Amino acid sequence: MSDVPLTAATPDVLIVGAGPVGLALANDLLRRGIRCRIIDSALQAEQKTKAVGIQARTLELFTKMGVARTAIEHGLTASFTNTYSGGKLLIRIDFGKHLLRTPYPYILLLPQHETEHMLTEHLQSQGGAIEWRRELVQLTQDEEGVEAVLCHPDGQEERVRVGFVVGCDGAHSTVRHVLGLQFAGTTFERSFAVGNVRLTWDLPSEEIFFFLHQGNFIAYFPMADGHHRVVIAYEPSKAPTGDVTLEAKKGWDPGNGRSWVPRVSPNCAPQYV
Ligand SMILES: Cc1cc2nc3c(=O)[nH]c(=O)nc-3n(C[C@H](O)[C@H](O)[C@H](O)COP(=O)(O)OP(=O)(O)OC[C@H]3O[C@@H](n4cnc5c(N)ncnc54)[C@H](O)[C@@H]3O)c2cc1C
């Protein structure tokens, strides 16, 4: 039994991580009247280019949270994807023909930092707030709840007692490590370059394009601000080092493009404890 008291003001849930998953959860809990606290070890919200595509099911959940309309207003809806290889169109998918049981038969293209911004504003409108620069460093649980240790920027430690802790702290999750959970799955051995570029080409400007080439691919996602998100996947041994020079590609205006080469691991924890 912990010496940290459980009071009426104690939140029911501590959410660790204010990325899209943590923010969505915080919004959903608050709308159900469940008290929660959301912390993040970062200094502030991430502004770098990350994910961009939002699927129909996420928009259905956003509808329940009351943010779907805002997301759609700020994004771009793409109803078609086209996949080419060797100069031939292999697959063209019309979401309007296949996604028949959703009011959102398309992919919404909205940069991740804008989605996070929208979810943060909605959280604030419900009386919630992200606590930045609070790092979860330890967890212990007993029959009555969980005690978490949070590290503040001045080095002080805060002990928090809650009913539940939810680890939304990303691929290198401290929560998962502390609980000794595995990250089952395999690593998709590709290196990616990502950038936002302004394209001049004859292809439709509101459709998604994939071009496959000998195990590598390049994808183009249109965005509401007129840029395209370009994702280039390389075999790690063939990935360029340093920045990818998009200027070298004929017909491209690099716009505000930035690029770097992260690795992707489609893994997941096998259980929740
Ligand atoms: C360049 C790039 C491009 C990407 N493109 C795509 C894409 O096209 N499609 C796609 O599906 N995905 C893409 N991703 C992946 C996508 O960004 C992640 O899947 C998504 O961010 C995961 O969201 P999350 O909320 O689970 O975790 P994160 O966004 O990683 O958020 C976790 C948060 O937890 C915080 N945190 C970590 N440890 C602690 C701790 N101990 N205490 C407190 N806080 C902590 C971190 O500061 C962070 O803010 C891309 C990623 C990158 C980097």
Tens-digit pLDDT profile for the chain (273 aa)?
Answer: 455 555 556 789 999 999 999 999 999 999 999 999 999 999 999 888 789 999 999 999 999 999 999 999 999 999 999 999 888 899 999 999 999 999 999 999 999 999 999 999 999 999 999 999 999 999 999 998 999 999 999 999 999 999 999 999 998 999 999 999 988 888 888 888 888 888 888 889 899 999 888 777 889 999 999 999 988 888 877 776 666 554 434 333 333 333 333 333 444 555 655
Confidence (pLDDT) at 152: 97
Pairing type for strands 13-16 and 164-167 reads parallel
Burial of 103 (0-12, 13-18, 19+ CB in 10 A): exposed
What is the structure's pLDDT at 253? 34
Nearest CA to ligand 1 atom 27: 170
CATH of domain 188-264: 3.30.70
Q: How far apart are CA 83 and CA 266, in angstroms?
A: 22
Determine whether 211 is exposed, middle or buried from the number of CB atoms within 10 Å of its CB (0-12, 13-18, 19+): middle
Q: Are strands 107-109 and 228-234 parallel, antiparallel or unpaired?
A: unpaired
For residues 30 and 21, give the distance between their C-alpha atoms in angstroms, rounded to a whole number: 14
**CA–CA separation, 160 and 133 (whole Å):** 15
The CB of 21 under 6 Å from ligand 1? The reply is: yes
Ligand 1 geometric centre to CA of 44 (Å): 14
Report the amino acid identity of residue 273: V
* Contact criterion met (CB below 8 Å) for 257 and 195: yes
What six digits make up the tokens of 61? 């959940």
What are the boundaries of each domain within the chain?
A: 13-47+114-179, 188-264
According to the model, what pLDDT value does residue 262 have?
Answer: 36
Specify the pLDDT at position 272.
59
- How far are the Cα atoms of 6, 35, 58, 72, 144 from residue 163, in angstroms, in the given order? 9, 10, 27, 35, 7
For residue 17, give the ligand 1 atom closest to its CA: 34
Q: Is 167 near ligand 1, meaning CB less than 6 Å away?
A: no
- Atom 19 (ligand 1): residue with closest C-alpha? 51
Q: How far is the CA of 191 from the centre of ligand 1 (A)?
A: 17
Q: What integer pLDDT is reported at residue 7 of this predicted model? A: 54
- pLDDT computed for residue 271 by the predictor: 61
Find the helix packing angle between 112-125 and 20-31, rounded to 10°: 20
CATH 3.50.50.60 assigned to 13-47+114-179: yes
Per the rule left: phi > 0, alpha: psi between -120 and 50, beta: everything else, 242 is left
Identify the residue whose tokens are 């770098």.
48
